[in-house]
Amino acid sequence: MTIENLKPIFNLPADHKGPIVIAGPCSAESEEQTLDTARQLAEAGITIFRAGIWKPRTKPGGFEGRGKEALAWLRKVKEATGMQVATEIANRRHLEEALGAGIDAVWIGARTSANPFAVQEIADTLALLPEEKKESITVLVKNPVNPDLELWVGAIERIYGSGVSRIGAIHRGFSTYGKHIYRNQPRWAIPIELNRRIPELPIIFDPSHVGGSRALVATLAQQALDMNFEGLIIESHCNPDKALSDAAQQVTPGELSCIVRALESRNSAATAESLDDLRYKIDRLDDELLELLSKRMEVSREIGLFKRRHNLPVVQTQRYKALMEKRVADGERLDMSADFVRAILAAIHEESVRQQVELK
């Protein structure tokens, strides 16, 4: 499906500079907390407010959001501050209630975008809206929890198929098993491939859910801007330590303001020239990498012939393990992560095996 003729996801003030910034608490917990946070964010120059109302929790018993009553608080935020307001929806009823309350933008959460039935139900509901609503509503699609680009693209295509045209994606990282620095792994190659596949689609980055810790928000946000993401969605709470959901990753509106002011935009003309030089260097290094790999495959095929002549198996697990361990340690000394070195070596090994198995 070709996705084209998209409209801007948000109408920004004429004097707006820099990336789109959506900010607000993980959850709207009370009228006071919602309005207090919103007022402080508006003072800091934020024009798009987020707050979750229906919260999908991993385990039962967690805070599941205030539901419909909190929609009235978002309406008050709009009236009091003039900000546009956004919330998460997961089904037809959420969408209808949000639209009824005058919500400007909705996002489909990571657990919902992993479920084509749920996304299709939302798309079918959007398709029935009157034309003016279809034109005004913004729908942002978070990546599914699992690193599956096709599922993400599929969810975006379902929403596009409904006839709405203010569509964007949110990159919030991917779940993995075990403890890591990041709560959700950024796997940058996936949103970059999404951008290659659908260049018109704006992608917003969510450093709060990727990092899972307020200490990581600023660095991650800058990295995303360096990679040309269109904007950021950042969780901010008037009293983060007391937040009922995602306390560790929320920042105060004051901190948010500092983070946003410190962000550097990387697209000024002055930097373009040196960037071209650096890209030239990278391209040449990639040429060399490919040549080296092809030489390595040649040797690998010779080994394959030797193994065949001497009736040896193609894969010798002991050697593979020893080689991997040594290279991972070497890689770390050269400032590359163990995961990266492992992935590269596994891919090279897989191709070597394929070439040896297919030897004529």
Nearer to ligand PEP, 64 or 96 (CB): 64
Interaction with ligand PEP in 9-48: which residues (CB under 6 A)? 26
Q: Which of 83, 95, 106, 110 binds ligand PEP (CB under 6 A)?
A: 110
Site residues for ligand PEP, window 154-193 (CB under 6 A)?
Answer: 172
Residue 172 interacts with which of ligand PEP, Mn ion, none, CB < 5 to 8 Å by class: ligand PEP
Nearer to ligand PEP, 144 or 331 (CB): 144
121: partner contacted, choices ligand PEP, Mn ion, none (Cβ within 5-8 A by kind) = none
Decide: is 142 part of the binding site for ligand PEP (CB under 6 A). yes
**Hey, which residues between 71 and 100 contact ligand PEP (CB under 6 A)?**
88
- Residue 142 touches which of ligand PEP, Mn ion, none (CB < 5 to 8 A by kind)? ligand PEP
Q: Would you say 212 or 231 has its CB closer to Mn ion?
A: 212
Q: Are the beta carbons of 81 and 39 closer than 8 angstroms?
A: yes
SS3 of 298, please? helix
- Closest CB to ligand PEP belongs to which residue? 109
Among Mn ion, ligand PEP, none, what does residue 237 contact (CB within 5–8 Å per kind)? none
Q: Which positions touch Mn ion (CB under 5 A)? A: 26, 246
| Two tokens, residue 35 | 């309005």
Q: Provide the residue type at 255 as one letter.
A: E
Of 181, 150, 182, 185, nearest to 171 by C-alpha is 185
Amino acid identity of residue 166, one-letter, is R
Site for ligand PEP (CB under 6 A): which residue of 187, 209, 214, 237?
209
Residue 230 binds which entry of ligand PEP, Mn ion, none, CB below 5-8 Å type-dependent: none
Of the pair 52, 202, the CB lying nearest ligand PEP is at 52
Axis-axis angle for helices 31-43, 253-262 (nearest 10): 30
Q: Where are the beta strands (DSSP E) in the chain?
A: 20-24, 48-50, 84-89, 105-108, 138-142, 166-171, 203-205, 231-235
Please state the separation of Cα 141 from the chain's center in Å. Answer: 10
The distance of closest approach from Cβ of residue 286 to ligand PEP in the complex, given in angstroms and rounded to an integer, is 33
Q: Does 253 bind ligand PEP (CB under 6 A)?
A: no
Residue 22 β-bridge partners: 48, 233
Residue whose Cβ sits closest to Mn ion: 26
Q: CB-based contacts of 262: which residues, under 8 Å, 6+ apart? A: 218
One-letter amino acid of 194: L
* 6: number of Cβ within 10 Å: 16
Number of other CB atoms surrounding residue 98 within 10 Å: 24
Binding status of residue 141 toward ligand PEP by CB under 6 A: no
Token match 């079918």: residue?
A: 124
Which residues of the chain form contacts with ligand PEP (CB under 6 A)?
26, 52, 88, 109-110, 142, 172, 209
